[in-house]
Structures are given as C-alpha cells and as structure tokens.
Structure 1
Amino acid sequence: VEESKLYQELLEMERKLDWVIARKRLDLQDASNKPGKTTRTLRVFLSTTVSNQTWQIADPDSLGQDTDFTSLSPPAWTLRIEGRLLDPPSRHAARGSKKFTHYLRSLVVELDRDASFTEGNIVEWHRQAQPQGPEAEQDGFEIKRLGDSTVKCKIILDIAHSPPRHKVSPELAAVIGIQEGNLQSIQNMFWTYIRQNGLQEKGDRRKIRPDAALKPLITQAMGPRDNFMFHEIPTFINMYLAPADPVVIPYIVRMDSSTVGELKAFDIEIDIDDFASRSRVRDVITALSPETAQQIAQLDDEISLSVVSVRNSKVKRDFLESFARDPAHFIERWLASQARDLETVMGHENGMRGDLRRSDNFQLPWVEEAVVVHEGIRV
C-alpha cells in the first residue's frame, strides 16, 4: 500500500525529531543553569558642587539673604561619582537594575594637590567579600574636601565583569591576536590559531607541535620541548594572563561659577549575566511541560488505534478478496485448515508430530490462511 510507505517515512522522521527534541531539551536545561553573557553600557556621571567660595560670598544671592558671613565655614567642594546601567534597546529584556557598586570591585580617587592638607588625597572603596545590609550596594559616592582652587584627580574603576576579564601578555597577544577578554574567549582564540596553522600532530591529535612563533613562549613557560599535550593549554595560557587594567577617568574639580554643577558622563562597556536569555530559555522549557508531553502521548495512542484498525481492515479485505478470486479453491483450503485445527484441538495428530517438528511446516501457505481466517472471524 502506497500510503503505508508514507506512514513508515513519517514514523522514521518522528523518531529523528524526538531524538533532536530530547537532546535540545537537555541543552536548554543546562543553559538555564548557566545564564548567557551580554555586553551592556555602564554610564558614570561626575559632577562638582562648592560652598563658601569667594565668588559665592561676593554674590549674597547665591548664599541666601539671611546668611551670617561671620559664621561661614571655610570654602569647600564636593565631588559626586554616580553610575547606572543603561537600559537595553528592548526594555522588556531588562531585569531588576542593580546599583552602581554592584558592577565595581573597587574605586580609587587620587587627588593631585599638596600633601600638606590634613585630609587624605587618596580615597578608596573596596567591595566586601560578603556585603550585608541595605548599605552593601549604593548608587554613588561623595568626596568632600576643603579648598578654593582647581584640583586635578584620577578616578580609577576596577570593573566587576562577569565572567572576569584578563589582559593577555604582549608576547602571546602578538601570536593569537587578542589583547583582553574572558578566559573562554582567549582559549578559543588560542585553539583557533592551532587549527588554522595545523599544529596538531597527525599521529596523535592530543599532541600539539608549536610553530616558530609559539615555541619561545612554550619554552619560557614549560621548558624546552618539541610538543605539548592538549590538556596543558589552560595551564600554559594562565601563565600569560594578568588582571584586566582598570578604567581610569581623568577629571578636574573646578571652583568657578560657570562649571559648578556641570554633569559629565562617561560610558564603559561591561560584560554581565544575560538574565533575559535565561528567562527565554525557561519559557521554552515550560512549553515542553509534562502537560504537553501528555498530549503528545495521547495523540500517539490514537494513532496506534488507527493503525490497528487499518491492519484489521486489510486482513478482512484480503480474506474477502481471496474468496472472491477463487471461491471453490478457497473453501477447500479453508476446510482443510479447519480440519487440521480441529485435529490439533482434539488431540488426533495422525502423523502430524513429525510435521510439527519441522520449522518449515509453519512457513507453508496454510499458516497465513489460518491467520487471515482467524482475524476475519475476530473482526
């Protein structure tokens, strides 16, 4: 039957599809436990406010009409450092924006002014190993100092990339073509260099034979050798990695009225966990829930019942077609088959024991006819 061939092809396709879905589902479950990575923009805002400066005292309106000039404090200034993560292009992908310090490991401000000031010229903040309480994270910092003159400063931000970024030594960077990145991207670039230059030994693919550019680095890290093993790649790469350089922002604290309150912004690209992709993966897994699997199983049962019905209909059709083609011969064979079955049931073998011992006896036409008759009666 032509349709049965198509059905078998559909069954084969279904088996392949089930295998692919099962494999992808395992991949999705693994991915849901490992959020993807994405690059976002951290915008840092710098501003300065001043108090009791000469130009403010000369202009009483800037201090207020009721100011007592005899009790004024010394001139001072305040540097504000704030930051926030910019929303992605699709706002619905954003999830719970973290505070500024969540994206920092440390912040250092170096003030370029006379060391005779009693206040320190270096201000540092370092993230605690286990921050606790609402003060654990904050949106910014304020640095207050006395003074009425321009101050140059450097703001040094150690970004908490996820995963952490590393700086590649100049020697290795010149070979593999990457100067900074996370560990996985650096290892991928190193492996790409090996494959593109055919450095794997043909006899043993686990062994890598360094070329002229790579051999001095291998010798320096592992000693003189003609090759190294595949599993030694991470150890070798780690010897040429260092923490990524911090972001340094130069800034000038000015006291003149024209620049006070001016807001400056600096954008920093950072790597963070992509929780939006994790949410999408979980939505896909939810779509493949047990309820859906139960519906699929129910449809499979319905298909199986339909197949049984088709098979029974075919048996009945073969039975009637054989009878219509040669009624006399069909009845003779049918009676012989019935007599044979009756003798077997009644225990009158009459020499049939030898026939029953031969396997080819059950490959004769009477077996198929008996099955057809039985199925026809049952239907």
Structure 2
Amino acid sequence: MATHQSIPVPGSYAARNLPHSAPGALGGPVPVQGKPRPNPAAAPAIQYTPNDLSIPAKLYQDTPNLEFYKKLLDAEREIDLISVKKELDFHVIHAKSLQPSSFKKETGTLRVYVYNTCENQPWQKQLAQQRGEPVDPAAEGFWTLKVEGKFLHKEGKEATNKFSSFLSGISVDLIINEDYPHLAENQTHVVEWRDQYPQYQQRQSEFDGFDVKRPGIFNLKCKIAILIKEQTARFKMSPKFSQFIGKEEATQQESIQGIWQYILFKGLITKKEVAQVDAVTSTTPGLNDAAMAIDTAKDLTVVKCDEVLQDLLGVEQFRFSELFQLIQPHFLPRQPIILDYEIDTRRSTTLGDLALDIPVELPTDIAHLQRVTSDEHKKVFAESAQTLVQIADLNSKIALGVSKLKNLDTRRDFYKELNENPVEFIKQWTKTQSETLKSLKSDEGYDEEVVRRAQYFEDHEDVLKEKIDVLLGTTKF
C-alpha cells in the first residue's frame, strides 16, 4: 500500500503556522500530479480585514521597542477624548454662531447734512435779468429743504447702505407764521416718514435724502426730528436708573446683570432658615400685591432691598424672577434728535452750514452672514472627514502589522513546541487535524482510511473549499 503524507487543513493550528515556502514540509502543500490546481493568487471567496490593534502582553517583553507602540496607544486615547469634546463644542458653537445675536456689529458714523435750496426767488430773477438770461416773471418762487445722510465706516470701507436704512423715522414740522398762512389751511406743515419694515426684512425702496418742497419767498423756521434705528434692543434709562447702572442706554440683560451684581456684592439674598416672608410692599403703581407674595420654602431667591434698591425699585423685598417686571418703569422710549433750522431764501443753497455726526451700527445682513458662516463650517467638516479617512488608513496599516506580529508569534510557539517534544506534539497535532476533518464533513462522517489519502482531497476539492470558506467566515477555527 502506498503511503501518503497527511495534509494540514487550512485554518488549523498547524496550517496557520507552518512555513509556506517549503513545499512538502510538515503542513506545507504537497504537489499532486494530474488534476490542475486552482490559481493560488486568485482572490479568496471571503476577505478578512484585520482591525484588532491590541498586542498580547507577552510580546512587549520579547519584542524590542514595542513600548513606543503602547505609548502611542495611550496618546491616541487621550487625543480621541479631546477630539470628541472638541467636536461637541464645535457643534454647539456652530448652532450658536448662526443666531443673529452672535454676529459682531460693525459701527461707524452717520453724517447728516441739513440745508435748503431756492429757485425763482425775486433776487434770483433780478440777477438773471442782469445777465441777460430769459426770465418768467409769473414763475412762483420755491424753496426745498433737504436732509441727507451718508455712512462713514470706521475702517474706511465704502458703505453701500442708504440713509433710510439707519432711520426708524424722520419728520419735519414747519413753524407757521404770518408769511405762510396757507400751511395751516391745508395741513401741509408736518411731513413725516416712518419705517414700516421689520429689522431684518429687505426694503423695496431706500433713499439717501428726505426733501420737502414748498412755495415761498420768505425765511421759515422748522423743527427736524430724526429717530435713529437701533440694531440692538437698547433702551434709554430713567435718570435714577442711569445713575445706578452708570449708563444712559442699556439692554434689558445689562440692566438685570447690573442689579444682580449689586445684590451679590451687598449680600442681600435671604437665608434658607427664613420660613415665610410677608407680601411685598410696593410703591410702584400697577403691581399686584397678591402676585408678589413670597414663600421662601419654595423659592430661595428672595432679595431684601437696602435703601438704594428700595428707592430704585419701590419694594422692600422681591423674588429675582420678578426683577424684570420691577425695572420696566425705568425703560423709557428713545428720544429723537431734534434740530432747529431756519430755511434761508436769500441764498441759492446753504449746503455746509449744518452737519451732524451720529454714531450708529451698520445693519446686519443676517442671511449673508449665515451663509458665509455655514460655508466656513462646511469646509472644517470636510477637512475633518478627510483627516478621519487618513486616520482610518493608518489604523488599517497598524492592524495589518499587528496581525503579522501575532502570526509570527504563533509560528514561533509552534516551532518551539515542536522542538521541545516532537512526538507528543505530532500526536496532538494529528488529533487536531482529525477534529478539523470531522467539522469539514459535518454530519456525513468520514472514513479515516480514505481521508488520509491525497486522492480524497483531489476528488472533493470544490466541496472542501466551500466548507473551509464557511468555517473561516463563521470564525470556528
């Protein structure tokens, strides 16, 4: 009877660790004549990509310079924690940066010119006649009052914003006198314009000048009221509150913050052991005493007012949640800028006589800024995604190196055990091969005398290959 060398089944302990470069060696492939073998370079039916980056502890003792890899893993974990935190912070900042209140306001100066021009005045007709120019004696004299504005950017940029975009309203009140009695008759002595559009809505038409034209040959006094639009919700404070907070104008948040800082500095918050506080005694009209009753067992943010706060708020004690209601009387409507001007009909123009500089904030194009901010954030996201791809590629290479290192360690253990006790090792290895063959044959069973011959593997190559792929896919080896 011819003898045949047993072939280790791929995936077994022996087959994974025997050197593949030695044909005919223990566990190596045995050349068989006859039936052509499949191309060994062909892609396997199931591909396996290593992703394990951990190295057994024993390899750190046997492999030089492997401690650097351990330090690298520790540093990577710290970087991952920082990256996750920064990513969460970035998402919060991204959401917050798209809010209108987060955009930085650009400031500058609104220069307002007030002047008037005249035409067909008696002295103008006389000068025209002296120059020999044609004159219509029946032409009525007119004057035109002009209020024009131009925005001057602090950084010297050329602004395209119109004068009307900085105004909430403008009005001209012509003071009636005996030379202009008709103004009272037809009610044309008051001319005004008000902005009817919301703050962030684009206007259909804007202007750089506000003109009032009337017939007349005599001087006329008038009052011009200009109400500047506030891009932020700032209010004019009452004299008493202005003295307390140190500002003539402030937002509601700034007002509440100023009072809260004063309360903390003075230590005016009541202690927890105070069980009951009587109803607030208010000198401010319109406050509901029943609504101001305080139970400190449920609300510990009760403030006992000192003399300054009592004089300012008109109460002896209050909840902090009621502070907003208490400071409302100190918010006054913004006052317009009032200009007294006299229309001079003795000159062709008075341009340059009166100019006024008003500090203003540039209206914010919210939609444009949101688009720009969103585009910048998209670039950051794209760069981050590209970095993650590079990191994944490096991790794949590291995992492949770790897998090779583990395979080398397994082969070393194989040869070490074979060298120490060859007989016992071969017996154990043969037993392992037998168990593997049983797994390959599944429930069909097998004849050891048959399967130990090479001819069996040649005849059932396709079936064996299929079952080996299944076993590899289910990680039963």
The two structures share one fold, judged by TM-score above 0.5 = yes
With over 3 angstroms needed to count, the CA separation of the structure-2 counterparts of 1:274 and 1:325, relative to structure 1, is farther
Identity, % of aligned positions:
23
Partner of 1:367: none
Partner of 1:358: none
- Match status 1:217 vs 2:308: no
Cα distance between partner residues in 2 of 1:31 and 1:52: 58
The answer as to whether partners of 1:29 and 1:285 remain within 8 angstroms in 2 is no
Cα distance between partner residues in 2 of 1:201 and 1:302: 61
- Of 144, 147, 150, the residue aligned with 2:219 is 150
Deviations 1:67-112 (A, max 9, x none): 132x131x331111122333452649x6xx3432232222122234
- Of 349, 361, 366, the residue aligned with 1:271 is 361
TM-aligned CA deviation for residue 65 of structure 1:
0.3
- Match status 1:165 vs 2:234: yes
The answer as to whether partners of 2:225 and 2:337 remain within 8 angstroms in 1 is yes
Partner of 2:135: 67
Partner of 1:302: 393
The answer as to whether partners of 2:117 and 2:349 remain within 8 angstroms in 1 is no
Secondary structure at the aligned position of 1:232 is classed as: helix
Cα distance between partner residues in 2 of 1:205 and 1:341: 76
Deviations 1:106-149 (A, max 9, x none): 21222344166212433222233689998753332211233334
* TM-score of the two chains, using structure 2 as the length reference: 0.59
With over 3 angstroms needed to count, the CA separation of the structure-2 counterparts of 1:281 and 1:209, relative to structure 1, is farther
Partner of 2:182: 118
Cα distance between partner residues in 2 of 1:337 and 1:249: 108
Secondary structure at the aligned position of 1:288 is classed as: helix
- Of 308, 322, 326, the residue aligned with 1:232 is 322
The answer as to whether partners of 2:221 and 2:341 remain within 8 angstroms in 1 is yes
Cα distance between partner residues in 1 of 2:196 and 2:211: 19
- Of 327, 335, 346, the residue aligned with 1:245 is 335
- Match status 1:46 vs 2:114: yes
Matches within 5 A, 1:52-131: 52-60=120-128, 65-69=133-137, 71-73=138-140, 75-87=141-153, 89=155, 91=157, 97-114=160-177, 117-119=181-183, 120-128=188-196
Cα distance between partner residues in 1 of 2:90 and 2:76: 21
With over 3 angstroms needed to count, the CA separation of the structure-2 counterparts of 1:249 and 1:346, relative to structure 1, is same
AA paired with 1:7?
L
* Structure 2 residue runs without a partner (length 5+): 1-66, 273-298, 439-477
Cα distance between partner residues in 1 of 2:226 and 2:152: 17
Cα distance between partner residues in 2 of 1:333 and 1:177: 95
Cα distance between partner residues in 1 of 2:79 and 2:128: 86
AA paired with 1:285?
H
Partner of 2:377: 285
With over 3 angstroms needed to count, the CA separation of the structure-2 counterparts of 1:139 and 1:209, relative to structure 1, is same
* TM-score of the two chains, using structure 1 as the length reference: 0.72
AA paired with 1:245?
Q
Partner of 1:29: 95
The answer as to whether partners of 2:109 and 2:151 remain within 8 angstroms in 1 is yes
Deviations 1:293-346 (A, max 9, x none): 542332232132123123224424544676899985597997798589679879
- Match status 1:180 vs 2:249: yes
TM-aligned CA deviation for residue 277 of structure 1:
5.4
Secondary structure at the aligned position of 2:98 is classed as: helix
The answer as to whether partners of 1:40 and 1:272 remain within 8 angstroms in 2 is yes
Q: CA RMSD in A?
A: 4.0
AA paired with 1:164?
A
Secondary structure at the aligned position of 1:214 is classed as: helix
Deviations 1:18-43 (A, max 9, x none): 32133223322332242525133222
The answer as to whether partners of 1:53 and 1:76 remain within 8 angstroms in 2 is yes
Cα distance between partner residues in 2 of 1:324 and 1:61: 125
Deviations 1:249-305 (A, max 9, x none): 33332233386344643222223444475455234212134x445423322321321
Deviations 1:154-206 (A, max 9, x none): 21111221223211122222222222133333334344444444445575774
- Of 12, 19, 26, the residue aligned with 2:78 is 12
Choose between structure 1 and 2: higher helix proportion: 1
Q: Count how many residue pairs are aligned between Structure 1 and Structure 2.
A: 337
Secondary structure at the aligned position of 1:284 is classed as: helix
Choose between structure 1 and 2: higher strand proportion: 1
Moved more, 203-212 or 143-152: 203-212
The answer as to whether partners of 1:110 and 1:155 remain within 8 angstroms in 2 is yes
Cα distance between partner residues in 2 of 1:165 and 1:261: 33
TM-aligned CA deviation for residue 207 of structure 1:
4.0
Cα distance between partner residues in 2 of 1:153 and 1:16: 67
With over 3 angstroms needed to count, the CA separation of the structure-2 counterparts of 1:334 and 1:133, relative to structure 1, is closer
AA paired with 2:214?
R
Cα distance between partner residues in 2 of 1:232 and 1:306: 63
The answer as to whether partners of 1:37 and 1:273 remain within 8 angstroms in 2 is no
With over 3 angstroms needed to count, the CA separation of the structure-2 counterparts of 1:224 and 1:261, relative to structure 1, is closer
